[in-house]
Homo-oligomer: A and B are copies of this chain.
Amino acid sequence: MHYSDYLQLDKILNAQQPEGERLGEPAHDEMLFIVIHQAYELWFRQLLYEVDSIIGIFGQPMLNDNSPELQTIVHRLSRCATILKVLVHQIDIMETMTPMDFLDFRDKLRPASGFQSVQFKLLEARLGLKYEHRYGQQYYLSQLRQPEVDRIKSAEAAPTLLELLNKWLERMPSVWTDVDSPAGTGDSWFPDYRQRYQQSLADVEKGNLEYFDSVFSGKTPSSGEAQPSRSLSPLACRSALFIMLYRGYPLLQLPFQVLHQLLEIDEQLSTWRYRHMSMVSRIIGSRIGTGGSTGKDYLASALERHHLFREIAALTSFLIERRRLPALSVEMESRLGFVVAG
Protein backbone atom coordinates (compact mmCIF):
# COMPACT_ATOMS: atom_id res chain seq x y z
CA MET A 1 0.00 0.00 0.00
CA HIS A 2 1.55 3.27 -1.08
CA TYR A 3 0.27 6.74 -0.24
CA SER A 4 -0.20 7.84 -3.84
CA ASP A 5 -1.98 4.63 -4.87
CA TYR A 6 -4.23 4.69 -1.85
CA LEU A 7 -5.27 8.27 -2.62
CA GLN A 8 -5.49 7.60 -6.38
CA LEU A 9 -3.37 10.66 -6.97
CA ASP A 10 -2.97 9.74 -10.61
CA LYS A 11 -6.63 10.71 -11.03
CA ILE A 12 -6.71 13.63 -8.61
CA LEU A 13 -3.58 15.34 -9.92
CA ASN A 14 -4.27 14.78 -13.61
CA ALA A 15 -7.71 16.32 -13.70
CA GLN A 16 -6.68 19.91 -14.32
CA GLN A 17 -6.93 20.93 -17.97
CA PRO A 18 -7.23 24.71 -18.36
CA GLU A 19 -9.24 25.76 -21.40
CA GLY A 20 -6.83 28.62 -21.96
CA GLU A 21 -3.95 26.23 -22.51
CA ARG A 22 -6.01 24.01 -24.75
CA LEU A 23 -6.90 27.02 -26.90
CA GLY A 24 -3.42 28.49 -26.92
CA GLU A 25 -4.32 31.50 -24.80
CA PRO A 26 -3.09 30.50 -21.36
CA ALA A 27 -4.30 32.49 -18.38
CA HIS A 28 -2.35 31.92 -15.19
CA ASP A 29 -5.29 32.09 -12.80
CA GLU A 30 -7.41 29.47 -14.52
CA MET A 31 -5.54 26.76 -12.63
CA LEU A 32 -6.63 28.29 -9.34
CA PHE A 33 -10.17 28.45 -10.61
CA ILE A 34 -10.13 24.73 -11.41
CA VAL A 35 -8.37 23.59 -8.27
CA ILE A 36 -10.57 25.53 -5.86
CA HIS A 37 -13.75 24.23 -7.45
CA GLN A 38 -12.40 20.70 -7.29
CA ALA A 39 -11.53 21.18 -3.62
CA TYR A 40 -15.10 22.39 -3.00
CA GLU A 41 -16.50 19.34 -4.77
CA LEU A 42 -14.32 17.00 -2.71
CA TRP A 43 -15.70 18.55 0.45
CA PHE A 44 -19.27 18.46 -0.86
CA ARG A 45 -18.73 14.75 -1.39
CA GLN A 46 -17.67 14.38 2.24
CA LEU A 47 -20.61 16.46 3.47
CA LEU A 48 -23.01 14.28 1.51
CA TYR A 49 -21.36 11.20 2.95
CA GLU A 50 -21.83 12.47 6.49
CA VAL A 51 -25.38 13.71 5.94
CA ASP A 52 -26.39 10.42 4.36
CA SER A 53 -24.99 8.50 7.31
CA ILE A 54 -26.90 10.78 9.70
CA ILE A 55 -30.10 10.27 7.75
CA GLY A 56 -29.51 6.54 7.88
CA ILE A 57 -29.36 6.61 11.67
CA PHE A 58 -32.25 9.05 12.06
CA GLY A 59 -34.40 6.83 9.88
CA GLN A 60 -34.19 3.88 12.26
CA PRO A 61 -37.63 3.35 13.76
CA MET A 62 -36.42 2.88 17.33
CA LEU A 63 -33.66 5.43 17.74
CA ASN A 64 -33.19 5.61 21.50
CA ASP A 65 -32.68 9.14 22.72
CA ASN A 66 -29.63 8.32 24.73
CA SER A 67 -28.06 5.69 22.56
CA PRO A 68 -24.56 5.85 21.11
CA GLU A 69 -26.27 6.49 17.77
CA LEU A 70 -27.48 9.86 18.95
CA GLN A 71 -23.97 10.70 20.06
CA THR A 72 -22.73 9.67 16.64
CA ILE A 73 -25.25 11.99 14.99
CA VAL A 74 -24.09 14.91 17.10
CA HIS A 75 -20.47 14.13 16.34
CA ARG A 76 -21.05 13.99 12.59
CA LEU A 77 -23.22 17.10 12.50
CA SER A 78 -20.47 18.89 14.34
CA ARG A 79 -17.96 17.64 11.78
CA CYS A 80 -20.15 19.04 8.99
CA ALA A 81 -20.13 22.43 10.69
CA THR A 82 -16.33 22.27 10.98
CA ILE A 83 -16.02 21.48 7.27
CA LEU A 84 -18.35 24.33 6.37
CA LYS A 85 -16.20 26.76 8.37
CA VAL A 86 -13.19 25.80 6.28
CA LEU A 87 -15.27 26.19 3.11
CA VAL A 88 -16.17 29.73 4.19
CA HIS A 89 -12.48 30.44 4.84
CA GLN A 90 -11.57 29.00 1.43
CA ILE A 91 -13.33 31.95 -0.20
CA ASP A 92 -10.33 34.02 0.88
CA ILE A 93 -8.29 32.08 -1.65
CA MET A 94 -10.73 32.75 -4.47
CA GLU A 95 -10.61 36.44 -3.62
CA THR A 96 -6.92 36.55 -4.48
CA MET A 97 -8.15 36.45 -8.08
CA THR A 98 -8.82 39.98 -9.30
CA PRO A 99 -11.60 40.79 -11.78
CA MET A 100 -9.08 41.48 -14.55
CA ASP A 101 -7.42 38.11 -13.98
CA PHE A 102 -10.76 36.37 -14.19
CA LEU A 103 -11.67 38.17 -17.40
CA ASP A 104 -8.62 36.59 -19.02
CA PHE A 105 -10.39 33.24 -19.27
CA ARG A 106 -13.98 33.88 -18.28
CA ASP A 107 -15.50 33.72 -21.74
CA LYS A 108 -13.95 30.34 -22.42
CA LEU A 109 -15.96 28.70 -19.67
CA ARG A 110 -19.42 29.71 -20.85
CA PRO A 111 -21.97 28.55 -20.14
CA ALA A 112 -20.45 26.43 -17.36
CA SER A 113 -21.39 27.81 -14.00
CA GLY A 114 -21.24 27.01 -10.32
CA PHE A 115 -25.02 26.73 -10.38
CA GLN A 116 -24.38 23.43 -12.09
CA SER A 117 -22.88 21.82 -9.01
CA VAL A 118 -25.12 18.80 -8.61
CA GLN A 119 -23.55 17.85 -5.32
CA PHE A 120 -24.43 21.17 -3.72
CA LYS A 121 -28.03 20.86 -4.84
CA LEU A 122 -28.10 17.27 -3.59
CA LEU A 123 -26.82 18.46 -0.24
CA GLU A 124 -29.58 21.04 0.02
CA ALA A 125 -32.13 18.43 -1.04
CA ARG A 126 -30.95 15.83 1.48
CA LEU A 127 -31.07 18.37 4.26
CA GLY A 128 -34.64 19.20 3.35
CA LEU A 129 -34.93 21.86 0.66
CA LYS A 130 -37.82 21.04 -1.68
CA TYR A 131 -38.05 22.05 -5.29
CA GLU A 132 -41.17 24.11 -4.60
CA HIS A 133 -39.29 26.21 -2.05
CA ARG A 134 -36.28 26.87 -4.19
CA TYR A 135 -35.77 30.35 -5.48
CA GLY A 136 -35.55 30.68 -9.26
CA GLN A 137 -36.92 27.27 -10.19
CA GLN A 138 -36.91 27.93 -13.91
CA TYR A 139 -33.32 29.04 -13.95
CA TYR A 140 -32.36 26.15 -11.77
CA LEU A 141 -33.82 23.59 -14.13
CA SER A 142 -32.32 25.23 -17.20
CA GLN A 143 -28.81 24.79 -15.77
CA LEU A 144 -28.95 21.06 -15.19
CA ARG A 145 -28.94 18.02 -17.45
CA GLN A 146 -31.89 15.67 -17.21
CA PRO A 147 -30.10 12.82 -15.37
CA GLU A 148 -28.95 15.38 -12.81
CA VAL A 149 -32.46 16.74 -12.35
CA ASP A 150 -33.68 13.19 -11.83
CA ARG A 151 -30.99 12.53 -9.27
CA ILE A 152 -31.92 15.60 -7.28
CA LYS A 153 -35.64 14.89 -7.50
CA SER A 154 -35.07 11.42 -6.16
CA ALA A 155 -33.02 12.87 -3.30
CA GLU A 156 -35.92 15.19 -2.53
CA ALA A 157 -38.37 12.31 -2.63
CA ALA A 158 -36.51 10.21 -0.06
CA PRO A 159 -37.02 11.16 3.59
CA THR A 160 -34.90 14.24 4.24
CA LEU A 161 -33.05 15.16 7.39
CA LEU A 162 -35.66 17.82 8.14
CA GLU A 163 -38.53 15.37 7.80
CA LEU A 164 -36.81 12.76 9.94
CA LEU A 165 -36.04 15.39 12.53
CA ASN A 166 -39.73 16.27 12.62
CA LYS A 167 -40.71 12.63 13.13
CA TRP A 168 -38.09 12.08 15.79
CA LEU A 169 -39.29 15.14 17.69
CA GLU A 170 -42.87 13.93 17.39
CA ARG A 171 -41.92 10.61 19.00
CA MET A 172 -40.86 12.24 22.29
CA PRO A 173 -42.86 11.26 25.40
CA SER A 174 -46.33 12.73 25.40
CA VAL A 175 -46.00 14.05 28.93
CA TRP A 176 -43.76 16.81 27.55
CA THR A 177 -46.01 17.68 24.74
CA ASP A 178 -49.66 16.99 25.52
CA VAL A 179 -51.82 20.02 25.01
CA ASP A 180 -55.00 18.77 26.63
CA SER A 181 -54.84 18.45 30.38
CA PRO A 182 -55.62 21.67 32.28
CA ALA A 183 -52.74 23.80 33.50
CA GLY A 184 -51.63 23.01 37.02
CA THR A 185 -52.78 19.41 37.17
CA GLY A 186 -49.29 18.18 36.59
CA ASP A 187 -50.43 15.64 34.05
CA SER A 188 -49.01 17.67 31.29
CA TRP A 189 -46.44 20.36 31.14
CA PHE A 190 -47.43 22.35 28.13
CA PRO A 191 -50.63 24.13 29.29
CA ASP A 192 -48.75 25.36 32.34
CA TYR A 193 -45.92 26.68 30.18
CA ARG A 194 -48.32 28.47 27.87
CA GLN A 195 -49.79 30.28 30.87
CA ARG A 196 -46.37 31.39 32.08
CA TYR A 197 -45.37 32.52 28.63
CA GLN A 198 -48.55 34.60 28.46
CA GLN A 199 -47.73 36.19 31.82
CA SER A 200 -44.23 37.06 30.60
CA LEU A 201 -45.56 39.23 27.79
CA ALA A 202 -45.52 42.97 28.15
CA ASP A 203 -48.67 44.80 27.07
CA VAL A 204 -47.38 45.66 23.60
CA GLU A 205 -46.43 42.04 23.11
CA LYS A 206 -49.86 40.54 23.92
CA GLY A 207 -50.43 39.74 20.28
CA ASN A 208 -47.56 37.25 20.42
CA LEU A 209 -49.82 34.72 22.09
CA GLU A 210 -51.59 34.16 18.80
CA TYR A 211 -48.27 33.53 17.14
CA PHE A 212 -47.39 31.13 19.95
CA ASP A 213 -50.65 29.24 19.41
CA SER A 214 -50.19 29.06 15.68
CA VAL A 215 -46.73 27.53 16.11
CA PHE A 216 -47.47 25.15 18.96
CA SER A 217 -51.12 24.31 18.37
CA GLY A 218 -51.59 24.96 14.69
CA LYS A 219 -54.40 27.48 15.26
CA THR A 220 -55.05 29.96 12.49
CA PRO A 221 -54.42 33.50 13.73
CA SER A 222 -57.51 35.73 13.97
CA SER A 223 -56.19 37.80 11.11
CA GLY A 224 -57.00 34.78 9.01
CA GLU A 225 -53.73 35.27 7.17
CA ALA A 226 -52.62 32.20 5.38
CA GLN A 227 -49.67 30.68 7.23
CA PRO A 228 -46.60 29.91 5.22
CA SER A 229 -46.27 26.16 4.97
CA ARG A 230 -44.21 24.81 7.83
CA SER A 231 -41.76 21.93 8.03
CA LEU A 232 -42.12 21.21 11.73
CA SER A 233 -45.48 20.19 13.15
CA PRO A 234 -46.90 21.81 16.30
CA LEU A 235 -46.18 18.58 18.17
CA ALA A 236 -42.53 18.57 17.04
CA CYS A 237 -42.21 22.23 18.02
CA ARG A 238 -43.46 21.48 21.53
CA SER A 239 -40.80 18.79 21.86
CA ALA A 240 -38.06 21.07 20.60
CA LEU A 241 -39.17 23.80 23.00
CA PHE A 242 -39.10 21.37 25.92
CA ILE A 243 -35.60 20.25 24.97
CA MET A 244 -34.33 23.80 24.80
CA LEU A 245 -35.80 24.70 28.16
CA TYR A 246 -34.64 21.65 30.11
CA ARG A 247 -31.44 20.82 28.29
CA GLY A 248 -29.59 20.24 31.60
CA TYR A 249 -31.29 16.90 32.24
CA PRO A 250 -29.21 13.89 31.16
CA LEU A 251 -31.77 12.56 28.73
CA LEU A 252 -32.02 15.90 26.97
CA GLN A 253 -28.35 16.71 26.60
CA LEU A 254 -27.85 14.93 23.31
CA PRO A 255 -31.20 16.01 21.82
CA PHE A 256 -30.23 19.59 22.65
CA GLN A 257 -26.89 19.07 20.93
CA VAL A 258 -28.71 17.80 17.84
CA LEU A 259 -30.76 21.00 17.61
CA HIS A 260 -27.72 23.14 18.36
CA GLN A 261 -25.60 21.54 15.65
CA LEU A 262 -28.36 21.88 13.06
CA LEU A 263 -28.48 25.61 13.76
CA GLU A 264 -24.71 25.74 13.52
CA ILE A 265 -24.82 24.08 10.10
CA ASP A 266 -27.55 26.42 8.94
CA GLU A 267 -25.54 29.41 10.03
CA GLN A 268 -22.36 28.23 8.36
CA LEU A 269 -24.22 27.40 5.16
CA SER A 270 -25.80 30.82 5.13
CA THR A 271 -22.50 32.53 5.90
CA TRP A 272 -21.00 30.61 3.02
CA ARG A 273 -23.82 31.75 0.74
CA TYR A 274 -23.38 35.33 1.88
CA ARG A 275 -19.62 35.45 1.35
CA HIS A 276 -19.94 33.55 -1.90
CA MET A 277 -22.43 36.15 -3.13
CA SER A 278 -20.12 39.02 -2.13
CA MET A 279 -17.20 37.33 -3.83
CA VAL A 280 -19.12 36.74 -7.05
CA SER A 281 -20.28 40.33 -7.08
CA ARG A 282 -16.74 41.54 -6.46
CA ILE A 283 -14.96 39.41 -9.03
CA ILE A 284 -17.61 39.10 -11.71
CA GLY A 285 -19.66 42.21 -11.20
CA SER A 286 -23.16 42.26 -12.61
CA ARG A 287 -23.79 42.86 -16.27
CA ILE A 288 -27.25 44.28 -16.18
CA GLY A 289 -29.61 43.26 -18.93
CA THR A 290 -28.25 39.83 -19.80
CA GLY A 291 -31.79 38.69 -20.13
CA GLY A 292 -32.23 37.08 -16.77
CA SER A 293 -31.58 37.60 -13.14
CA THR A 294 -27.97 38.50 -12.50
CA GLY A 295 -25.90 36.11 -10.49
CA LYS A 296 -25.94 38.36 -7.49
CA ASP A 297 -29.71 38.77 -7.46
CA TYR A 298 -30.21 35.04 -7.60
CA LEU A 299 -27.77 34.47 -4.76
CA ALA A 300 -29.27 37.20 -2.58
CA SER A 301 -32.73 35.70 -2.87
CA ALA A 302 -31.59 32.15 -2.34
CA LEU A 303 -29.78 33.30 0.78
CA GLU A 304 -33.01 34.11 2.56
CA ARG A 305 -35.12 31.30 1.16
CA HIS A 306 -32.77 28.39 1.67
CA HIS A 307 -32.38 28.74 5.45
CA LEU A 308 -33.48 25.23 6.27
CA PHE A 309 -33.75 25.10 10.03
CA ARG A 310 -35.09 28.58 10.66
CA GLU A 311 -38.18 27.19 12.38
CA ILE A 312 -35.97 25.82 15.13
CA ALA A 313 -34.11 29.10 15.44
CA ALA A 314 -37.43 30.95 15.65
CA LEU A 315 -38.41 29.04 18.81
CA THR A 316 -35.98 31.23 20.69
CA SER A 317 -38.69 33.89 20.76
CA PHE A 318 -40.86 31.67 22.95
CA LEU A 319 -38.39 30.95 25.74
CA ILE A 320 -38.92 32.34 29.22
CA GLU A 321 -36.44 32.84 32.03
CA ARG A 322 -35.15 29.76 33.79
CA ARG A 323 -36.36 30.94 37.17
CA ARG A 324 -39.94 31.16 35.89
CA LEU A 325 -40.06 27.69 34.37
CA PRO A 326 -42.67 25.19 35.61
CA ALA A 327 -41.11 22.75 38.05
CA LEU A 328 -41.22 19.20 36.72
CA SER A 329 -42.97 16.43 38.59
CA VAL A 330 -40.85 13.81 40.34
CA GLU A 331 -42.05 11.30 37.80
CA MET A 332 -40.85 13.45 34.92
CA GLU A 333 -37.54 14.18 36.60
CA SER A 334 -36.99 10.50 37.15
CA ARG A 335 -37.66 9.82 33.52
CA LEU A 336 -35.21 12.56 32.54
CA GLY A 337 -32.52 10.92 34.56
CA PHE A 338 -31.84 12.83 37.74
CA VAL A 339 -33.53 10.79 40.44
CA VAL A 340 -31.34 7.72 40.44
CA ALA A 341 -32.47 4.91 42.66
CA GLY A 342 -29.67 3.33 44.73
State whether the Cβ of A49 lies closer than 8 Å to any Cβ in chain B: yes
Residues 26-46 (chain A) with a chain B CB within 8 angstroms: 28, 31-32, 34-39, 41-43, 45-46
Partner of A117, one of B3, B35, B207, B290: B3
Assuming the contacts A86-B86, A92-B86, A267-B282, asked whether A2 and B317 have C-beta atoms less than 8 A apart, the reply is no
Contact B82 A92 (CB under 8 A): yes
Q: Does A198 contact B (CB under 8 A)?
A: no
Query: Least Cβ distance of A43 to chain B in Å?
Result: 7
A114 and B9 alpha carbons, distance in the complex (Å):
13
- B-chain residues with CB within 8 Å of residue A133 when the two chains form the complex: none
With A13-B41, A38-B42 in contact, do A287 and B117 touch (Cβ < 8 Å)?
A: no
Residue A111 interfacial (CB < 8 Å) = yes
Q: B-facing mask of A205-241, CB < 8 A → 1, else 0?
A: 1111001000000000000000000000000000000
Cβ-defined partner of A12 (8 Å) among B36, B42, B288, B338 = B42
* Interface-located stretch among A123-131, A153-161, A172-180, A271-279: A271-279
Q: What's the nearest-Cβ distance from chain B to residue A219, in Å?
A: 16
| Binary contact track A281-297/B, C-beta < 8 Å → 1, others 0 | 11111111111000000
Beta-carbon contact of A4 and B103 below 8 Å? no
Chain A contact residues, CB within 8 Å of chain B: 1-9, 11-17, 19, 28, 31-32, 34-39, 41-43, 45-46, 49, 53, 64, 66-68, 71-72, 75, 78-79, 82-83, 85-86, 89-90, 92-93, 96, 98-100, 103-104, 107-119, 145, 202, 204-208, 211, 244-245, 247-250, 253-254, 260, 263, 267, 270-271, 274-275, 278, 281-291, 313-323, 337-338, 340
16 inter-chain pairs at a CB distance below 8 angstroms, sorted by A residue, are A2-B112, A3-B114, A3-B116, A8-B38, A11-B12, A13-B42, A39-B42, A64-B340, A68-B249, A82-B93, A85-B92, A86-B90, A100-B247, A204-B291, A282-B313, A285-B314
The 3 A-B pairs with the shortest beta carbon distances in the complex, nearest first, are A285-B316, A68-B248, A3-B116
Given A32-B79, A71-B248, 11 other A-B contacts at CB below 8 A? A3-B113, A8-B16, A13-B42, A78-B96, A79-B96, A83-B93, A85-B92, A100-B322, A202-B290, A204-B289, A205-B290
